[in-house]
Amino acid sequence: MTNKPESLRQRAEALHLHGVLAHWDEVATSDWIESLVQWEEDGRAQRSLERRLKNAHLGRFNPLCDFDWKWPTRCDRAAVEALMTLEFLREAANVVLVGPNGVGKTMLAQNIAYQALIGGHTVLFTSAGQMLGDMAALDSDSALRSRLRYYAAPDFLCVDEVGYLSYSNRHADLLFELISRRYESKSTLITTNKAFTDWNDVFPNAGCVVSLVDRLVHHAEVIAIEGESYRLKQANERAALQAKKRKSKAGTAP
């Protein structure tokens, strides 16, 4: 109990509550001081989370509890759940989710990113097309350096949909530069529908592809997901339901 006032003072100092600190000897043992410090900590934590959520550009997504683990023919659930502990962020390790369209790669990536936000980390979620197009469109070196710093800065960078488009050598060089800047210092998550052996199709004639993949997968958790498209399954189910409703209405019509 004797350490409580000192602990409170340290928390007040961390919050820069200079007015309170100036009168600390008068208020240190007051009943309300701990509540005041706690309210300020909670308020700042909430504002920080809201700001980081806004800057992350996660968009709307379904929670992990809605993921149908029985649908993919291959998906290492234990590995995904281990990622949710965020241990890989502490190790500055990367994550690669590989699989065909519609098997839930983006949903899993968004949930991991959200967990990182809740854990106090800065996050940026972007598609490969948006990010690489954004950087490639810049003409001046200073603007490009600034944009590279923007994408290199977050604790956790999620790049969705690598492999859905093909890119020029300039795009490949920019991605290599970004991965190199984050290498062994910050974590990057990539979702892709292409095996690494097919990345030469994504970046045709780019000389840096081998080095890019090498740096990306070093210290990385690579999770392969296999199966039919869940979105296509849902679309077929909706179509069947609508057909059933139309048939039912037709049967009851006079």
Give the lowest-confidence range in 4-8, 141-145, 177-181, 220-224: 4-8
CB atoms within 10 A of CB 26: 10
Give dist(CA 172, CA 174) in Å, integer: 5
Q: Per-residue pLDDT tens for 184-237?
A: 999 999 999 999 999 999 999 888 999 999 999 999 999 999 999 887 777 777
- Sketch the domain layout of the chain as residue ranges: 64-232
For the entire predicted model, the pTM comes to: 0.82
Give dist(CA 6, CA 26) in Å, integer: 14
Q: Per-residue pLDDT tens for 25-84?
A: 888 888 888 888 888 888 888 888 888 899 999 999 999 999 999 999 999 999 999 999
Residue (of 175, 177, 187) closest to 127 by Cα position: 175
Token reading at 47: 């504002």
Residue (of 226, 189, 39) closest to 114 by Cα position: 189
- DSSP codes, 128-183: HHHHHHHHHT--SHHHHHHHHHHHH-SSEEEEEEETSS---HHHHHHHHHHHHHHT
CATH numeric code, 64-232: 3.40.50.300
3-state secondary structure of 185: coil
On whether the CB atoms of residues 189 and 121 are closer than 8 A, the answer is: no
pLDDT beyond 60 at 1: no
Give dist(CA 199, CA 133) in Å, integer: 18
Q: Per-residue pLDDT tens for 3-29?
A: 566 788 888 888 888 888 888 888 888
Give dist(CA 213, CA 176) in Å, integer: 9
Give dist(CA 187, CA 154) in Å, integer: 9
Give dist(CA 100, CA 235) in Å, integer: 17
